[in-house]
């Protein structure tokens, strides 16, 4: 792989090393998943799920739990969303109070229920309101303020460069661009040329986001756009080692490839972490969520997932994992013996949220919420 000039960068005095960021994903990047990824190595910054300031500032227990983190996760950013200036300021102050290193503003979620209340990518239609939110938050907190945004609301109203310039003037210290419009959702390919234009237009660090599920694709887009960092979201669900592999590539090392034994161990580690943090039923849901992506590309992965979906207890999950990996390690075919294409498709920024709470184990139920 060709050498690159990609190197760590700083958000104020915080080193992002390696310059690789776990992108926030609703229903995914919670306390357990972030630690799982952090322990695999290679990630320079982890970010919480996006957290509603309406829930956070009104004492919603779920919203407060979403801010929880462990010291091993640092540097750690809390991402909040909302459309009301006062609530956004209060939410930012609460994030600083719990010890977050960075406060990130979501200006990218395309979900209708978020946009209709003026949050997420809805702020791209009301730039003066976004400017007020950024200025007021900047005055209220001492930790670095960052912004995650899309290229525009529609193809005919692309305004990411102008918004990025405005954000820099407001004191934002890092801009993360998802290279799609709000109307695109997660369809089509991300426009990394627009990300390149943002990087050229501002002097603060800029990171790019969109479609990075392989090292080659990420490296190619990174070179084209010249960004300081890169965000990986869905790719980390399928491959928890992707950050370590990127870090290996950056350092010119042989790229790490986990064996079957380690893949089994990581699945079991995640399940044990879930069981420590939540009752058995939601832990089963979280396990099925990760397994639905993690086993793509493995022999008989579809049949294995079908077996997991119909597992109704922790012991059934453990037994089925053991049986699956034992079969592969002995060289036998599992199920139909086929290997699926390694693709990940979603259609909403909150596509995964119901999986953690929807405990119907059927494949239909899972696919409707997470695939």
Catalytic residues: 109
Q: Rounded to 5 degrees, what angle do the CA atoms 35, 141, 143 make?
A: 45
Q: Helix/strand/coil (H, E, C) string of 171-198? A: CCCCEEEECCCCCCCCCCCCCHHHHHHH
Please spell the DSSP secondary structure of 70-124, one letter per residue.
Answer: -GGG-SEEEEEE-S-HHHHHHHHHHHHHTT-SEEEEEE----HHHHTTT-GGGGG
Q: Beta strands 9-11 and 14-16: pairing type?
A: antiparallel
Round to whole Å and give the CA distance between 298 and 339: 6
Q: Beta strands 175-178 and 206-209: pairing type?
A: parallel
**Tokens 């540097």 label which residue?**
75
Burial 31-41 (b: 16+ CB within 10 A, else e): bbbbbbbbebe
Closest of 318, 323, 283 to residue 303, by C-alpha: 323
**Tokens 């227990």 label which residue?**
61
Round to whole Å and give the CA distance between 38 and 48: 13
Closest of 98, 103, 99 to residue 138, by C-alpha: 103
Angstrom distances, CA of residue 189 to CA of 17, 180, 345? 27, 8, 12
Q: Do the beta carbons of residue 176 and residue 149 sit within 8 Å? A: yes
- Exposed/middle/buried for residue 102 (C-beta within 10 Å: 0-12, 13-18, 19+): buried
Helix (H) or strand (E) holding 215: helix 215-225
């Amino acid at each position: 792989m060709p050498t690159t000039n990609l190197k760590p960068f700083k958000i104020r005095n915080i080193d992002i090393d390696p310059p690789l960021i776990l992108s926030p994903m609703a229903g995914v990047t919670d306390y357990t998943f972030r630690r799982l990824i952090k322990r695999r190595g290679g990630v320079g910054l982890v970010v919480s799920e996006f957290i509603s300031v309406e829930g956070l500032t009104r004492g919603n227990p779920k919203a407060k739990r979403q801010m929880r983190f462990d010291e091993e996760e640092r540097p750690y950013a809390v991402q909040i969303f909302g459309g009301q200036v006062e609530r956004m300021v209060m939410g930012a102050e609460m994030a600083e109070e719990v010890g977050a290193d960075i406060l990130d503003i979501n200006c990218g979620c395309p979900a209708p229920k978020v946009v209709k209340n003026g949050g997420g990518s809805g702020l791209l239609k009301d730039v003066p309101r976004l400017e007020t939110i950024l200025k007021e938050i900047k005055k209220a907190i001492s930790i670095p303020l960052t912004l995650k945004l899309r290229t525009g609301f529609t193809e005919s109203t692309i305004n990411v460069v102008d918004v990025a310039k405005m954000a820099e003037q407001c004191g934002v210290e890092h801009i993360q661009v998802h290279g799609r419009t709000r109307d695109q959702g997660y369809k089509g390919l991300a426009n990394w040329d627009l990300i390149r234009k943002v990087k050229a237009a501002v002097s603060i660090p800029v990171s790019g986001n969109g479609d990075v599920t392989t090292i080659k694709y990420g490296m190619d887009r990174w070179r084209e756009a010249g960004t300081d960092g890169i965000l990986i979201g869905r790719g980390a669900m399928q491959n928890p080692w992707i950050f370590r592999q990127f870090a290996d590539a950056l350092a010119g090392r042989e790229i790490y490839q986990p064996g079957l034994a380690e893949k089994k161990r990581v699945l079991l580690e995640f399940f044990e972490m879930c069981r420590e943090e939540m009752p058995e039923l939601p832990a089963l849901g979280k396990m099925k969520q990760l397994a639905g992506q993690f086993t793509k590309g493995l022999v008989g992965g579809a049949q294995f997932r079908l077996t997991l979906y119909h597992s109704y207890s922790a012991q059934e999950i453990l037994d089925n994992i053991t049986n699956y990996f034992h079969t592969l390690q002995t060289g036998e075919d599992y199920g139909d013996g086929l290997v699926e294409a390694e693709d990940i498709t979603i259609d909403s920024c909150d596509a995964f949220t119901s999986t953690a709470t929807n405990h119907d184990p059927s494949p239909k139920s899972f696919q409707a919420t997470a695939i």
